């Protein structure tokens, strides 16, 4: 089970260091054994990656970026390369988040391209897919997932353990609306039926109150958490739930 916190455009270096120190206090109290059952990732903004890496060194909690470019270097203003992330101690990257698709023109192809390049460099990848409300109401969820996952499958025909797909229904992100456990289970089963990826995470208003019912569904292998990852208590509560479900 993988629990990843996507901080979006929140927390500069100082707030990042304070959050990570709080996370380490939790780890210290729980003992490493508890945490060893699951994988925990935090994804701060680029400028805070260094602070997170420094603070979480040797903790087992890994730091991901929220995006990565496929080129080694070049005229790509605003982008960050794989080797820059690796040199900063970053373990992976989120690609194709719906906010990148919605506001910054990210496409199925660019998402797949970014993901394939990051994996090739040895980074972990969380590649996001998911339908909008209009698409769900128009009964297009399956077509959308087939198209989005199909683009990833074309670029990454043999997904290894370093790749996770995050199923994030766009209408459930940051809205407080959550997919029903059945919706999540069906979407995850569909993704696994069309692509042999080991891990499919659910994302969309995951919080301590709904974590158990979502994480206990078949084919739900973890969560990508936005809002509830910004404070130590709710984030660690979700991690605890995942660890408990992994034990049982």
- Positions in the binding site for ligand PEP (CB under 6 A): 6, 8, 168, 173-174, 203-206, 224-228
CB of 79 to ligand PEP, least distance (A): 20
Nearer to ligand PEP, 56 or 173 (CB): 173
Strands (E), 140-241: 163-167, 199-203, 222-225
**How far, in Å, are 127, 171, 202, 246, 248 from residue 134 at the CA level?**
22, 9, 20, 35, 38
CB of 193 to ligand PEP, least distance (A): 23
Distance from C-alpha of 147 to C-alpha of 96, rounded to nearest angstrom: 13
DSSP state of 80: -
CB of 103 to ligand PEP, least distance (A): 13
Catalytic residue among 97, 99, 106, 131: 97
Max Cα-Cα span within the chain: 50
168 annotated active-site: yes
Distance from C-alpha of 92 to C-alpha of 86, rounded to nearest angstrom: 8
Nearer to ligand PEP, 82 or 207 (CB): 207
CB of 40 to ligand PEP, least distance (A): 15
CB of 177 to ligand PEP, least distance (A): 9
Nearer to ligand PEP, 5 or 159 (CB): 5
Which residue, among 220, 216, 149, 225, has the nearest Cα to 189 in the 3D structure? 220
Place of tokens 């198209």: 147
**Judging by beta carbons within 10 Å of its beta carbon (0-12, 13-18, 19+), is residue 89 exposed, middle or buried?**
middle
Catalytic residue among 99, 106, 168, 240: 168
Structure tokens at 55: 């603070």
Nearer to ligand PEP, 81 or 229 (CB): 229
Which residue, among 137, 218, 127, has the nearest Cα to 167 in the 3D structure? 127
CB 173 within 8 A of CB 204: yes
CB 203 within 8 A of CB 173: yes
Nearer to ligand PEP, 172 or 243 (CB): 172
Q: Which residues are marked as active site?
A: 97, 168
């Amino acid at each position: 089970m993988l629990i990843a916190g996507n901080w979006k455009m929140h927390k500069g270096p100082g707030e990042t260091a304070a959050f990570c120190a709080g996370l380490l206090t939790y780890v210290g109290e729980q003992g490493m054994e508890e945490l060893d059952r699951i994988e925990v990732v935090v994804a701060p903004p680029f400028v805070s990656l260094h602070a997170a890496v420094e603070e979480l060194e040797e903790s087992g909690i890994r730091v991901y970026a929220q995006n990565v470019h496929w080129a080694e270097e070049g005229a790509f203003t605003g982008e960050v390369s794989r080797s820059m992330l690796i040199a900063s101690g970053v373990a992976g990257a989120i690609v194709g988040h719906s906010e990148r698709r919605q506001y910054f023109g990210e496409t199925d192809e660019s998402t797949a391209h970014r993901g394939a390049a990051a994996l090739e460099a040895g980074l972990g990848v969380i590649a996001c897919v998911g339908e909008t409300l209009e698409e769900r109401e128009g009964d297009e969820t399956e077509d959308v997932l087939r198209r989005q996952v199909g683009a990833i499958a074309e670029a990454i025909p043999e997904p290894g353990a370093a790749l996770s797909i995050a199923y994030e229904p766009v209408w459930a992100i940051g809205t407080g609306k959550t997919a029903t456990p059945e919706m999540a289970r069906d979407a995850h089963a569909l993704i696994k039926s069309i692509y042999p990826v080991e891990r499919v995470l659910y994302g969309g208003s995951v919080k301590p109150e709904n974590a158990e019912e979502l994480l206990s569904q078949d084919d739900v292998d973890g969560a990508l958490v936005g809002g509830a990852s910004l404070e130590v208590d709710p984030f660690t509560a979700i991690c605890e739930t995942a660890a408990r479900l992994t034990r049982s």
